[in-house]
Amino acid sequence: MKELAIQKRIIDAVCAHGGMAFKLSNRFLKGVSDLLIKLPSQPALLAEVKVHVVPRTKGTRIRLDTDITVMQRKFMYDFENVGMACCVISALYEPVKNYQTRSMRIGIFPSVVQEVEIDLYTVVPRGKFEATVINQIEEWMLHLELNR
């Protein structure tokens, strides 16, 4: 599954939940975050979306690079310094033949984090992508509010 497909699914989930999400892009400015997300009763959130393919491994702790570029990190850092909530939404999936996925996990992390453990991701139950994404975003916003 490609990054644009995950971005579209996140946008659809937010809109279905009564919020607004917008795909940001600027071909002249590198490092612009992928999504601007606004859920009802929550402040706005800038999100960089990353997708990783992870082969099935048993009994192994996997550390994963978030793949955030220096320019993307700086873009989010500048917005965080003026009070904007920013995060990395990372989707992991295990591929099987014909480009289908066996399982998907999703995690939301601070923009400053470069490596994360796979254990920090939440498994997305089949048919529950929207609910899982909304729940993860709301938990992230609560986490930010409690740590201010």
Q: How many domains does the chain have?
A: 1
pLDDT at 40: 93
pTM exceeding 0.95: no
**Which residue in 105, 113, 51, 52 sits closest to 80, CA to CA?**
113
Supply the range of the domain harboring residue 95. 3-146
Interhelix angle 129-146/3-16, nearest 10 degrees: 80
pLDDT at 99: 56
**3 in helix, strand or coil?**
helix
The enclosing domain of 39 has a CATH number of 3.40.1350.10
58: left (phi over 0), alpha (psi -120 to 50) or beta: beta
Whether 22 shows a pLDDT value over 80: the answer reads yes
133 burial level (CB within 10 Å; 0-12, 13-18, 19+): buried
pLDDT at 18: 96
What does pLDDT average to over the chain? 86
Question: pLDDT tens digit string along 72-122?
Answer: 999 999 999 999 999 999 988 876 665 555 678 888 888 888 888 777 788
pLDDT at 117: 79
Whether 62 shows a pLDDT value over 80: the answer reads no
pLDDT at 16: 95
pLDDT band at 57 (very low <50, low <70, confident <90, very high): low
132 burial level (CB within 10 Å; 0-12, 13-18, 19+): middle
Average pLDDT over residues 10-33: 92
